[in-house]
Amino acid sequence: MSNAIVSALNLLQADYAVFYQKLRGYHWTVTGPMFFQLHQKFEELYLDMAIKVDDLAERSLTLGGSPVTTIKGMIELSRLHEDAEPPNAAAMVRTVYTDLNLLTVWNREVAALAAKEDDVATANLLEGMADTQEKEAWMLRAFLES
Ligand SMILES: [Fe+2]
């Protein structure tokens, strides 16, 4: 097992867990004329992130690693930050767009490391996550331009 890959998977898992919780908060607190669309979109995204957190944790376990199990541990490790104050609807979408793009960059970095170490399964998992996120980012960008 590669310690570097396991550490990177655990770090990503913490990032995704914080992103998941931000999306849940946005789902609950969004207001305004776009409420129905955004309330639903944030739910769609957090359901997807829950699967991704699980996939990352279980890939780490498969490689002999230990995923992050506590909320405290996830917040301490994550590179994404929670909001100091609840943002308005437009700021929520901008944050989701920014965070999603960061996650995609980090995914591709770890995928490249995994590919270099012939860990095809990790590389495929992370590339697949990045691919769907790029498409999601395009849709959020289109929304922000409206
Ligand atoms: Fe709900």
Q: Which position has the token pair 């990352």?
A: 56
User: Domains of the chain, with CATH numbers?
Assistant: 3-144 (1.20.1260.10)
- 65 Cα–ligand 1 center, Å: 33
Per-residue pLDDT tens listing for the chain (146 residues): 579 999 999 999 999 999 999 999 999 999 999 999 999 999 999 999 999 999 999 999 999 999 999 999 999 999 999 999 989 999 999 999 999 999 999 999 999 999 999 999 999 999 999 999 999 999 999 999 97
pTM score, two decimals?
A: 0.96
Note whether 12 and 74 are within 8 A (CB).
no
- 45 Cα–ligand 1 center, Å: 12
- 143 Cα–ligand 1 center, Å: 22
Angle at 89 between CA 84 and CA 91, to 5 degrees: 55
Return the structure tokens found at 19: 């992103």
pLDDT of residue 86: 87
pLDDT of residue 46: 98
- 6 Cα–ligand 1 center, Å: 33
pLDDT of residue 1: 58
- How far is 67 from 58, CA to CA, in rounded Å? 8
- 27 Cα–ligand 1 center, Å: 7
Strands (E), 72-117: none
- 36 Cα–ligand 1 center, Å: 11
